[in-house]
Amino acid sequence: MTAVTRARLEALDRADPLRSFRAQFDLPPGVIYLDGNSLGALPARARERIRHVVEKEWGEGLIRSWEDAGWIGMPQRTGDKLARLIGAGVGEVVAADSTSVNLFKALSVAVRANPGRRLIVSERANFPTDLHVVQGLVTQLGGAVELLLAEGSNEGVEKCLAEHGGRAVAVLLTHVHYTTSRMYDMRRITEAAHRAGALMIWDLSHSTGVVPVDLHACDADFAVGCGYKHLNGGPGAPAFIYVARRLQEKLTQPISGWMGDARPFDFRGEYEPAKGISRYLSGTPPVIGMAALEASVEVILEAPMAEIRRKSVALCDAFIELMDTRCAGQGFELVSPREGTWRGSHLSYRHGSAYPMMQSLIAGGVIGDCRPPDLMRFGFAPLYTRYVDTWDAVARIAETALQGRKKK
Amino acid sequence: MTAVTRARLEALDRADPLRSFRAQFDLPPGVIYLDGNSLGALPARARERIRHVVEKEWGEGLIRSWEDAGWIGMPQRTGDKLARLIGAGVGEVVAADSTSVNLFKALSVAVRANPGRRLIVSERANFPTDLHVVQGLVTQLGGAVELLLAEGSNEGVEKCLAEHGGRAVAVLLTHVHYTTSRMYDMRRITEAAHRAGALMIWDLSHSTGVVPVDLHACDADFAVGCGYKHLNGGPGAPAFIYVARRLQEKLTQPISGWMGDARPFDFRGEYEPAKGISRYLSGTPPVIGMAALEASVEVILEAPMAEIRRKSVALCDAFIELMDTRCAGQGFELVSPREGTWRGSHLSYRHGSAYPMMQSLIAGGVIGDCRPPDLMRFGFAPLYTRYVDTWDAVARIAETALQGRKKK
């Protein structure tokens, strides 16, 4: 690889097949935003969709908009759009609730679908809410199931399943790790889970929208994911749930609210689960937030996923190379995979002054975030992050690190 | 009571202490909106709050707004505002999730709090999602609990509790009935539940914001409610949950997502329930929808609840009297209580042509709704429904009924 220069990065931006997308986002001037993995930037289309939904559909249409503006079909319609980003079929995904609530549904169904087994296998350093939700279910079911934590790697999970898989109800893993960015081999791990007789639940929160995912190809059973990271659906956007068609009607999920009923507007007391994925709905859909998510997903669908992925890897590669050369000896340790193949679209660096340094960077307009105990995290959103942003960000990081040393 | 005339209703509007509130709502011209009990109208303050949250806080502030714009405290802050409408204290209510999801939490905790008992008592004609969620929990717990349906009246519930109360885990009732508008005596029923050793869970979906509620006075254990009806929080607005302070830390709810953890930003795998009501949170709060709800509740808090209630009863009384006089002999049967004391803020009429007649009314700009099998429902929102609206609406109803008869 030739040395990275700003001119070369500018040339990459000029040649970038995704370059027109940046103008579709509202980005504050003077900011290099490297935290789209935590909260994606605002797509102009989402801004305008929200305005329309609020002012026209709610303000003028009022109750009529449930039919006239298609609110009632929004969870399924948005789900079908999301399905195209994760290799799922029409009628296999709904947008609904939060990731935590959807995980609770998937885990509850898995436990009932796989009786006689008692282990829910996950990863020791999984995103906390995944483990928390398992713990809540364990308590609710009076200890009928328990949580078993594997080491976080393809090999670690396989080893755990080789030893304990015969008692495993389900395997719950996050595809791209929220700090290290390490990515599981979904096909390999799903096969290992199935070989052991366990159901596979993928949390796609840190992959959807920026990493190609093919749930059909790996024959996953359930997946959930977050709407507000790389999907750019807005703060606290609705999440989604995928259930493989072959499993959808075998069971019902426990939070059986009226929107999961076969005919909610018949107002019958006896719950009759809807056909297909709709039974994974619970309460009334959060229309305004979901409208933003739907609009945001539409923007992503206009970009070829292969180009998104190519640029994501290239942005991370450029950032790593720049950090290697310009911040050498400044105490940064890359904890993400150096090679792009099994890495998501963010990078984490360990640094002894991670928190104060990130505060300085944010104050100066380079926005990343920190994760305990000492990680600085930078996310790259191919639709609005430019190649030159990696140069300018690393320049600031180098300056900030030097200033930090001078103060000492 | 002197006969209602339009002039007299105009005079009531002129003298109405709430009359200034109507201008704070976006209402489409030419529409008489009598469905605020299903979806409240758009408060201008909610419209502007959403715009600010989207364009400034999300678009410009980006991830920084979790702290800088106070997003992280929104569920508790909105909950504290809601608390003032339902006689709860600071720290006893959070805005979160949907009514269905919150019901699932309350029921799950009640079952664990009251071991050795197996009946969840509700009302035969309760709003379907309440019964559906009980059914989902019954299935999940493998039949460890079951649903028992009482007749829907104070006496019916008391009779049921007198017979079966010794086995009752909890009593789950909707304060104001979604069709009949019949209102339970919360204090009387809560006392009966407690006497039987059961916990009391109130669904306040059809009361909050328009009927005075005092959870402390009746010593309720749990309550849930909907944000998009009389709270005007927008389509699919977040719901809320109340847990009496004395019960909050006894147990944990099962959907133990990271926002219910004591220190979510420590990112620990082991769930440690937050102190107080915050442990009833699950996933990331839906910021945009909750901002609308918070703004809408602020508007309601500026109106004295006693005036809201007084006008609500007066609007219903006027509507009933007009229907009695102007639609006599047209086949309408009032199924709501004729006397205001134990009635919410909507009225239902049985009519053999309910559905086609409501379609005609809506086409002509008088918007109510229908509920099976043959009910026409009209809601009255004291902050934006005028007294003259009752006159004009009944005039259209009378015309429509006459036209319907001519067609036959």
Q: What is the pLDDT of residue B18?
A: 98
Chain A residues in contact with B238 by the CB 8 A cut-off are 286
pLDDT for B15 beyond 70: yes
* DSSP character string of B76-145: HHHHHHHHTTTT--TTSEEEES-HHHHHHHHHHHHHHHSTT--EEEEETTS-HHHHHHHHHHHHHTTTSS
Say if the Cβ atoms of B128 and A269 lie within 8 Å: yes
CA distance B403 to chain A (A): 23
Chain A residues in contact with B128 by the CB 8 A cut-off are 258, 261, 264, 267-269, 271
Q: What is the pLDDT of residue A407?
A: 73
Q: Cα(A173)–Cα(A177) distance, rounded to whole angstroms?
A: 9
- pTM above 0.90? yes
Say if the Cβ atoms of B236 and A288 lie within 8 Å: yes
Is B254 in CB contact (< 8 Å) with chain A? Answer: yes
Q: What is the pLDDT of residue B226?
A: 98
3-state DSSP: chain A helix, strand, coil percent, rounded to 5? 50, 15, 35
Residue of chain B nearest A33, judged by CA positions: B62
Tokens of B310: 């007084």
pLDDT for A2 beyond 70: no
Tokens of A75: 């969870």
Is B273 in CB contact (< 8 Å) with chain A? Answer: no
- For A354-408, write each residue's pLDDT tens digit: 999 999 999 999 999 999 999 999 999 999 999 999 999 999 999 999 998 777 6
Task: Indicate the DSSP class of residue B152.
Answer: S
Say if the Cβ atoms of A256 and B131 lie within 8 Å: no
Say if the Cβ atoms of B371 and A267 lie within 8 Å: yes
Q: What is the pLDDT of residue B408?
A: 63
CA distance A2 to chain B (A): 35
- Do B83 and B92 form a contact (C-beta atoms < 8 A)? yes
What phi, psi does B13 have (nearest 5°)? Answer: -60, -40
pLDDT for A1 beyond 60: no
Q: Is the bond leading into B373 cis (omega within 30 degrees of zero)? A: yes
The residue of A50, A57, A104, A132 whose CB has the most chain B CBs within 10 angstroms, and thus the best one to mutate to test that interface, is: A132
Nearest to A255 among B26, B58, B133 (CB): B133
| Active-site residue list of B | 127, 203, 228-229, 377
- Please name the amino acid found at residue A41: A
Q: What is the pLDDT of residue B24?
A: 98
CA distance A141 to chain B (A): 7
Mean pLDDT of B183-195: 98
Give the Cα-Cα-Cα angle A32, A35, A36 (nearest 5 degrees): 105
Chain B residues in contact with A66 by the CB 8 A cut-off are 39, 235
Q: Cα(A214)–Cα(A187) distance, rounded to whole angstroms?
A: 9
HSE, CB side, 13 Å, CA atoms: give it for residue B86: 39
Place of tokens 């790593």: A320
A residues 165-224 near B, CB within 8 Å?
A: none
- For B64-110, write each residue's pLDDT tens digit: 999 999 999 999 999 999 999 999 999 999 999 999 999 999 999 99
Q: What is the dihedral of CA A206, A210, A214, A218, to 10 degrees?
A: -40
B residues 366-405 near A, CB within 8 Å?
A: 367, 369, 371-372
Give the Cα-Cα-Cα angle B192, B194, B199 (nearest 5 degrees): 115
Which of B288, B193, B223, B253 has the alpha carbon at shortest distance from A255? Answer: B253
Tokens of A139: 């308590």
Partners of B273 in beta bridges: B261
B residues 299-328 near A, CB within 8 Å?
A: none
Tokens of A277: 């994925």
CA distance B236 to chain A (A): 4
Q: What is the dihedral of CA B290, B271, B91, B186, to 10 degrees?
A: 90
Nearest to A98 among B57, B127, B282 (CB): B282
Residue of chain B nearest A58, judged by CA positions: B42
- Please name the amino acid found at residue B303: A
Q: What is the pLDDT of residue A3?
A: 82
Chain B residues in contact with A264 by the CB 8 A cut-off are 128
Share of chain B above pLDDT 90, in %: 97
Residue of chain A nearest B235, judged by CA positions: A287
- Reported residue count of chain B is 408
Share of chain A above pLDDT 90, in %: 97
* Mean of the per-residue pLDDT values of chain B: 97
Mean pLDDT of B34-51: 98
B residues 139-168 near A, CB within 8 Å?
A: 139-141, 149
- For A311-357, write each residue's pLDDT tens digit: 999 999 999 999 999 999 999 999 999 999 999 999 999 999 999 99
Residue of chain B nearest A236, judged by CA positions: B286
- For A227-244, write each residue's pLDDT tens digit: 999 999 999 999 999 999
Domains and CATH numbers, chain B: 6-30+304-407 (3.90.1150.10), 49-301 (3.40.640.10)
Q: Cα(B194)–Cα(B184) distance, rounded to whole angstroms?
A: 16
- For B386-399, write each residue's pLDDT tens digit: 999 999 999 999 99
Residue of chain B nearest A269, judged by CA positions: B128
Place of tokens 């004729």: B338
Nearest to B100 among A46, A228, A282 (CB): A282
Chain B residues in contact with A206 by the CB 8 A cut-off are none
Say if the Cβ atoms of A286 and B237 lie within 8 Å: yes
Would you call A185 a catalytic residue per the annotation? no
pLDDT for A188 beyond 60: yes
CA distance B394 to chain A (A): 20
Q: What is the pLDDT of residue A125?
A: 94
Would you call A228 a catalytic residue per the annotation? yes
pLDDT for A187 beyond 60: yes
Q: Cα(B266)–Cα(B269) distance, rounded to whole angstroms?
A: 9
B residues 25-84 near A, CB within 8 Å?
A: 26, 28, 31, 33, 35, 38-39, 41-42, 46-47, 50-51, 53-55, 57-60, 62-66, 71
Q: Tell me the pLDDT band of A258, cut-offs 50, 70 and 90.
A: very high
Q: Cα(B159)–Cα(A114) distance, rounded to whole angstroms?
A: 41
pLDDT for B1 beyond 70: no
Say if the Cβ atoms of B47 and A60 lie within 8 Å: no
Say if the Cβ atoms of B129 and A283 lie within 8 Å: yes
Q: What is the pLDDT of residue B407?
A: 73
Distances (CA, A) of B250 to B87, B93, B207, B245, B275: 22, 16, 28, 10, 11
Would you call A25 a catalytic residue per the annotation? no
Within B224-304, where are the H helices? 245-248, 287-301
Q: What is the pLDDT of residue B2?
A: 59
Say if the Cβ atoms of A64 and B100 lie within 8 Å: no
**Residues whose CB is less than 8 angstroms from the CB of residue B182 and which lie 6 or more positions away in sequence, other chains included:** B152, B153, B176, B336, B337, B342, B343, B344
Under 8 Å CB pairs connecting chains A and B tally to 285
Q: Cα(B185)–Cα(B173) distance, rounded to whole angstroms?
A: 11
**Residues whose CB is less than 8 angstroms from the CB of residue A47 and which lie 6 or more positions away in sequence, other chains included:** A26, B54, B55, B59
Partners of B123 in beta bridges: B150
Q: Cα(A283)–Cα(A285) distance, rounded to whole angstroms?
A: 6
- For A28-62, write each residue's pLDDT tens digit: 999 999 999 999 999 999 999 999 999 999 999 99
Chain B residues in contact with A234 by the CB 8 A cut-off are 54, 58, 287-288
- For B339-371, write each residue's pLDDT tens digit: 999 999 999 999 999 999 999 999 999 999 999
- For B276-318, write each residue's pLDDT tens digit: 999 999 999 999 999 999 999 999 999 999 999 999 999 999 9
Say if the Cβ atoms of B59 and A26 lie within 8 Å: yes
